Amino acid sequence: MLSKESKIYVAGHRGLVGSAIWNNLLQRGYTNLVGRTHKELDLTDQVAVRKFFDEERPEAVVLAAAFVGGIMANSLYRADFIMMNMKIQCNVISESYAHGVRKLLFLGSTCIYPKNAPQPMKEDCLLTSPLEYTNEEYAIAKIAGLKMCESYNLQYGTNYIAVMPTNLYGPNDNFHLENSHVMPAMMRKVYLAKLLNDGDWEAICRDLDIRPVEGVSGSSQGDDIAHILEKYGIYNNKVVLWGTGTPLREFLWSEDMADASVHVLLNVDFSDIIGIEKYSSVHYGASVDGAVDRDHSAGRGGAIPKLGEIRNCHINVGTGKELTIRQLSELVVKAVGFEGTVEFDATKPDGTMRKLIDVEKLHSLGWTHKVEIEDGVNRLFQWYKESLNTKH
């Protein structure tokens, strides 16, 4: 168990999930937190990551940093998605081991599951059939990350836990139209279409000043603004969204995800997940003097024949509930107060048709979600409006 004085490094502490985890830890009295912005520490730089661990020596690590985006970004930047994420994961996990980190929490994504996986998706359906093509590279990187955690545990007796959240949304979400996920992108489009109908160019310009789109900001010419908004399906009192609107999606409020993550970090060990009270002959990853125990025979953990094959040790994190993209758009329209029309462009890809996860393992470990989608959509829109009145 980590003490309130334990130094905890949160990688990605400014992001959607990382910031929520940071705040959740603070609220629980864990104040010895360490964070670095991308400008301060490039996690793809192995030398820089090693230097950071040499200097800070964290007792626990939360790996919430990742290179992320929606369908469009995944399609355009395939090499970046696999290479950037693999570098981040390899550097942070390997240096955590080299520096005797006691507990590591790795955050993945439910896109790790096969495109045609049985619904709801249990942890055991991992690697049973092909992935969804549009996010294959990101999914493969995340699968590698969870397998790194599992493999270090089995070979070295470490205590690295991987959690796989469903679609997340909440404070500090990414609303940049070029690479945002479905809900914030949809919300911003609906809001801008409402502003166009209201003729509120001051609000439109403020929005674009804070979050420019392909270099177009609030100081750009009116024709340029109209052109870029139309490119993303935003018209006067009308919004065009990608796909048919029929895919089913599950959404989890980011602060709920943070609470689940911290619950796992503080209360769940690898031995709890695999159901073996004591699977290792050494304490997780470090000897008494803090040096890493590299005696493979002493710390092989579950990688011993009598325990059989151990895999799929990650934990799904979600609500176990779903709705269609069209139903989501109706909730967004209501929250924004939009009275125009929402159309779906069926010539554009839908992505995976259904992605509901089984959360039985999570519930058995003592955690369930609190924020329902209807309340969450309203909360997100209130946060977005407040963000437009904050100096960036």
Query: What pLDDT, in 10s, does the model give residues 299-340?
Result: 444 445 566 789 999 999 999 999 999 999 999 999 999 999
Mean pLDDT across the stretch 105-120?
94
CA distance 97 to 104: 9
Q: Which residues are catalytic?
A: 138
More confident residue, 295 or 209: 209
Share of the chain above pLDDT 90, in %: 78
Share of the chain above pLDDT 70, in %: 89
Nearest to 322 by CA among 370, 272, 363, 356: 356
∠ Cα 322 76 13 (to 5°): 65
Strands (E), 1-159: 8-11, 33-34, 60-63, 103-107
The pLDDT of residue 339 is 97
CA distance 187 to 330: 11
| DSSP structural state of residue 130 | P
